[in-house]
Amino acid sequence: MSRRDFTERDIHMALDGELPGDEYADYEAWLAANPDMAAKSRRFAVDGDMLRRAVSDVASEPIPLRMQQLLAEKKAPRRRFPSIIWRVAAAAALLAIGGLGGYFVGASGWNPVKAADSQVAVNAIEAYALYAPEKLHVVEVGADQKQHLVDWLSRRVGIPLVAPDLTAEGFDLIGGRLLPAQNQAAAQFMYQDHTGNRVSLYIVSDPTKQDTGYRWLEHGGMRALYWLDDGYGCAVAGNLSQAQLTQIADSAYKQLLQGTKS
């Protein structure tokens, strides 16, 4: 039997567990043959994970008293809605707030985070997931051409960059590459420890020049600690613990700051 053509709709069905079981092998082969769709799948999964965590507390709450009173006035049965209905209502409310105000819920709690801020982390995780497993083509320019790499990426991204030295944290620079980031360019520096585990530093220009402090995003074993500061949008991505990523982020932040002043 020939393999059917899959679409973006099938990505949502697969993530929701609604794709027929006998189609999963062909679906995975389709993703492998279409990197753009594979990237979309990872992006949708990250967004879904953020939404589920954002409404997890609300989803378990009872119907507000005022809504119960309104239902009573309409002589509706005084009982709780099925939990799935309340979860859908909570999700719809969250999306409405996000659409009107341009905010996402931060991974660390209910602090409002601009959508563009969290996009830095999403992009960093997608790029890490795509290139970290590579054997031969993990980077475009190797660490043996470090100065050329830094000069090239600084010019293309549009901000002064450095390739932070993370040897004190147990990671050596492999090299880096140029990445697309919506309507601009981004830089990715890749590092590796003695066990072969990799971590990446993702950097993009932030014209808003805001300061967010550290924020945290986790999905599928891949994590990103990200921040915006003085024109820089940065994210450290990998499968390390939050404490390890924080230590690496601290070192990278200090060296990036020193690099901009030199």
Q: Report the pLDDT value the prediction gives residue 110, as an integer from 0 to 100.
A: 35
Domain regions of the chain by residue span: 34-103, 113-261
Q: Report the pLDDT value the prediction gives residue 77, as an integer from 0 to 100.
A: 47
Residue with tokens 């099938």: 10
Q: Report the pLDDT value the prediction gives residue 104, as an integer from 0 to 100.
A: 38
Distance, CA of 184 to CA of 207 (rounded, Å): 11
Please state which architecture CATH assigns to domain 113-261: 2-Layer Sandwich (3.30)
Cβ-count burial 31-41 (b if 16+ within 10 Å, e if not): beeeeebbbbb
Q: Contact, 24 vs 10, CB < 8 A?
A: no
Q: How far is CA 173 from CA 188, 190, 198, in A?
A: 11, 6, 10
**Strands (E) located in 139-183:** 141-142, 172-181
Helix locations, 5-114, DSSP H = 8-15, 24-33, 35-59, 65-73, 83-101
Q: Report the pLDDT value the prediction gives residue 64, as an integer from 0 to 100.
A: 64
Percent of the chain whose predicted confidence (pLDDT) is above 90: 40
Q: Report the pLDDT value the prediction gives residue 16, as an integer from 0 to 100.
A: 81
3-state secondary structure of 191: strand
Q: Report the pLDDT value the prediction gives residue 187, as an integer from 0 to 100.
A: 97
Q: Report the pLDDT value the prediction gives residue 1, as an integer from 0 to 100.
A: 47
Torsion of CA 199, 45, 181, 236, to 10 degrees: -20
Distance, CA of 6 to CA of 256 (rounded, Å): 43
- Cα distance from N-terminal residue to C-terminal residue, the chain: 63
Q: Position 53: which residue type?
A: R
Name the residue among 178, 132, 175, 176 with its Cα closest to residue 158. 178
Cβ-count burial 107-127 (b if 16+ within 10 Å, e if not): beeeeebbebbbbbbbbbbbb
Distance, CA of 165 to CA of 182 (rounded, Å): 28
Q: Report pLDDT digits (tens) over 168-199.
A: 999 999 999 999 998 899 999 999 999 999 99
One pLDDT digit (tens) per residue for the chain, 262 residues:
456 788 888 888 888 888 888 888 888 888 888 888 888 788 777 767 666 666 555 555 666 666 666 666 655 444 444 444 444 454 444 444 444 333 334 444 333 444 455 789 999 999 999 999 998 899 999 999 999 999 999 999 999 999 999 999 999 999 999 999 988 999 999 999 999 999 999 999 998 888 888 898 887 678 899 999 989 999 999 999 888 999 999 999 999 988 776 6
